[in-house]
Amino acid sequence: MPMPARDHTWLFTPGSSFAYEDSGPTGVIHVVDGGELSLPTGRVVACDPFVCLGTGAIEPFTAEVEPGRYRVEVAMATLTQPGEEPSDTPHLRVAAARLVIRDEPAVTWEPALLPDQDPAELGDDEFYGYGVDAGTGCFYDASADGAFPGCEGDEGPLWDAFEDSGWAPGPHRVTSPETGHDLIAFSSGWGDGAYPTWVGRDADGEVTCFLTDFFVAPDPTEA
């Protein structure tokens, strides 16, 4: 069977804590507001923007929402080693990021799929996700894909947002000076890899959020 969805609600509950089985660091979650993202078409893209933005290679998810402006927030984990003293520079990792469509709890979770993806074709514990090769993820509207012509290599507003913050994990809202389109970017957990995005739905089947899990926090029911 494909990798099952877990209930991600606890990841966005401030004060949630977790530990690893190997007596490694422990983590405590706090939620960081990333501001509002404009979705003029309601078609959502999630990807590594340093790699994929403007290439036209990434399609939006099949689940669509009403056009509008929606909040993005990240579940930030503060990690500490057993016995470690509090630090002025805590070890922070983005455990997950979500695009909030409705302020209602998700009662079901399903994979966020691209048009050519079929979960029936996945093997045991496999999942569809986007690849990360620059340690970064983001959300943006499908109409913004070609809206950042200056974002190449170490140039442009996307690079500036991270560099000017001292490469803080984010979230960073980035606006194209040429077009006014925006995106919200953040570091991707431990860095490069492949990460699934899930669609949360309420009791009426309406989309409540798109959520990318960066596998930083193990499910407390399994750890």
pLDDT at residue 155 greater than cutoff 90: no
Output the pTM of the full model.
0.93
In contact, 107 and 201? CB cutoff 8 Å: yes
DSSP 43: B
Minimum mean pLDDT among 85-94, 160-169, 173-182, 188-197: which range?
85-94
145, burial (CB in 10 Å: exposed 0-12, middle 13-18, buried 19+): buried
The per-residue pLDDT of the chain, averaged, comes to 91
Q: What is the pLDDT of residues 181-215, one digit of tens each?
A: 999 999 999 999 999 999 999 999 999 999 999 99
* Per-residue confidence (pLDDT) for residue 56, from 0 to 100: 77
Q: What is the pLDDT of residue 151?
A: 66
Instruction: Return the percentage of the chain with pLDDT > 70, whole number.
Output: 95
pLDDT confidence of 222, banded at 50, 70, 90?
low
The model's confidence at residue 15, banded by pLDDT at 50, 70 and 90, is: very high
Fill in the amino acid letter for 124.
Answer: D
pLDDT of 223 over the 60 cut: no
Using a 10 angstrom Cβ sphere, with 0-12 exposed, 13-18 middle and 19 or more buried, the burial of residue 104 is middle
Query: Cβ of 17: how many Cβ atoms within 10 Å?
Result: 13
Instruction: Look at residue 76 and tell me whether its pLDDT is greater than 60.
Output: yes
pLDDT for 28 beyond 80: yes
Q: Determine how many CB atoms are found less than 10 A away from the CB of residue 203.
A: 11
Cα angle 203-205-207, degrees, rounded to a multiple of 5: 110
